[in-house]
């Protein structure tokens, strides 16, 4: 009878250990995949991320928003001409060179709105170059070595069935929470790119304001917002790099407290989601974009 009970206990013990190790592998491998996915997505330009959506946004911007920008530019050009004329003591000190100045400024403004997408994509090309360079450094230095993590099995072998059952239930909770956090991170990363598409769709309107010093504040703030969105990707990579290093330290740490280790990994994932959410505000505050 004792032999049968011992065999039954060993059977459940082996199954629980295998289940715990499988969940741990899923959690840690999922963290590696999460880091790689974020690096890949953030390292793409708007035209590479969703080409069909990008072409749709470009078509709408050029066919719907561009005519409105043309009307705004016409109004601003007329306003600028009136301001140039009356600024010389109501034509008392009239000089013809102001017309050449007005023509040049209007020409530059027209070139800006007719090449809006070229300028906006140039901004993101610069930002994405920085992101891709940082992504290469970060992903090469923060891979979690699963060989070290398998040392947890030795600790599990020394536990009884009830202890293993408690760890198994906690591991399932942690795995579920990790999936939810992965979905949240997916929303943050992809939401940034959707925000970029929305910003780019209205690009001709703020670009049309550069013809006048007073009205150009809108365009200047818009350009700063584009840079903020672009370099937000760099801040995201920094957050991912810090997170991956912390997770690596957890995976290579002592295996005495397996449940505590997994809960700490979950806590770092929550911290990652929070910091990713804050990168937008940080990048805007650094570049003074509103």
Full DSSP string of 114-136: HTHHHHHHHHHHHHHHHHHHHHH
Q: CA 234, 238, 240: angle at the middle one, nearest 5?
A: 115
Number of independent structural domains in the chain: 1
Query: Quick one: pLDDT band at residue 150, thresholds 50, 70, 90?
Result: low
pTM confidence score: 0.79
Determine, yes or no, domain membership for 269: yes
Determine, yes or no, domain membership for 101: no
The pLDDT of 159-187, averaged and rounded, is 82
Determine, yes or no, domain membership for 176: yes
Determine, yes or no, domain membership for 262: yes
The pLDDT of 116-145, averaged and rounded, is 74
With a pLDDT cut of 90, the percent of the chain lying above it is: 2
Most confident of 19-33, 129-143, 182-196: 182-196
Q: Is the pLDDT of residue 92 over 70?
A: no
Least confident of 26-35, 36-45, 83-92, 210-219: 83-92
C-alpha distances out from residue 56 to 3, 60, 65, 234, Å:
71, 6, 13, 27
What is the structure's pLDDT at 197?
A: 92
The pLDDT of 76-84, averaged and rounded, is 80
The more confident residue out of 257 and 132 is 132
The parent domain of residue 31 ranges over 2-67+116-287
The pLDDT of 162-177, averaged and rounded, is 82
Determine, yes or no, domain membership for 91: no
Determine, yes or no, domain membership for 80: no
Determine, yes or no, domain membership for 141: yes
Residues 6+ apart with CB under 8 A from 110: 73
Asked if 172 contacts 16 with a C-beta cutoff of 8 angstroms, the reply is no
Determine, yes or no, domain membership for 165: yes
What is the structure's pLDDT at 244?
A: 74
Q: CA 254, 260, 261: angle at the middle one, nearest 5?
A: 50
Closest Cα partner for 139 from 231, 235, 35? 35
The pLDDT of 279-284, averaged and rounded, is 90
Q: Is the pLDDT of residue 210 over 80?
A: yes
């Amino acid at each position: 009878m004792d032999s049968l009970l011992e065999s039954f206990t060993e059977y459940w013990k082996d199954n629980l250990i295998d289940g715990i190790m499988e969940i741990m592998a899923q959690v840690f491998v999922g963290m590696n995949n999460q880091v790689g996915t974020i690096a890949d997505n953030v390292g793409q330009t708007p035209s590479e991320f969703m080409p069909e959506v990008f072409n749709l946004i470009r078509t709408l911007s050029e066919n719907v928003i561009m005519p409105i920008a043309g009307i705004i530019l016409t109004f601003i050009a007329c306003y600028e001409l009136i301001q140039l004329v009356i600024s010389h003591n109501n034509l008392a000190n009239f000089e013809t060179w102001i017309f050449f100045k007005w023509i040049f400024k209007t020409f530059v403004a027209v070139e800006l709105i007719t090449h809006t997408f070229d300028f906006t994509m140039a901004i993101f090309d610069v930002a994405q170059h920085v992101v891709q360079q940082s992504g290469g450094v970060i992903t090469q230095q923060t891979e979690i070595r699963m060989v070290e993590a398998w040392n947890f099995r030795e600790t599990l072998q020394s536990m009884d069935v009830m202890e293993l059952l408690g760890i198994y239930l906690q591991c399932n909770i942690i795995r579920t929470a990790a999936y939810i956090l992965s979905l949240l991170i997916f929303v943050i990363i992809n939401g940034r790119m959707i925000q970029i598409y929305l910003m780019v769709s209205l690009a001709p309107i703020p670009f049309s304001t550069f013809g006048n010093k007073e009205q150009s504040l809108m365009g200047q703030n818009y350009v700063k917002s584009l840079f903020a969105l672009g370099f937000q990707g760099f801040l995201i990579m920094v957050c991912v790099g810090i997170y991956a290093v912390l997770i690596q330290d957890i995976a290579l740490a002592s295996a005495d407290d397996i449940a505590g280790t997994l809960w700490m990994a979950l806590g770092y994932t929550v911290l990652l989601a929070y910091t990713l959410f804050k990168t937008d505000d940080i990048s805007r505050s650094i570049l003074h974009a509103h």
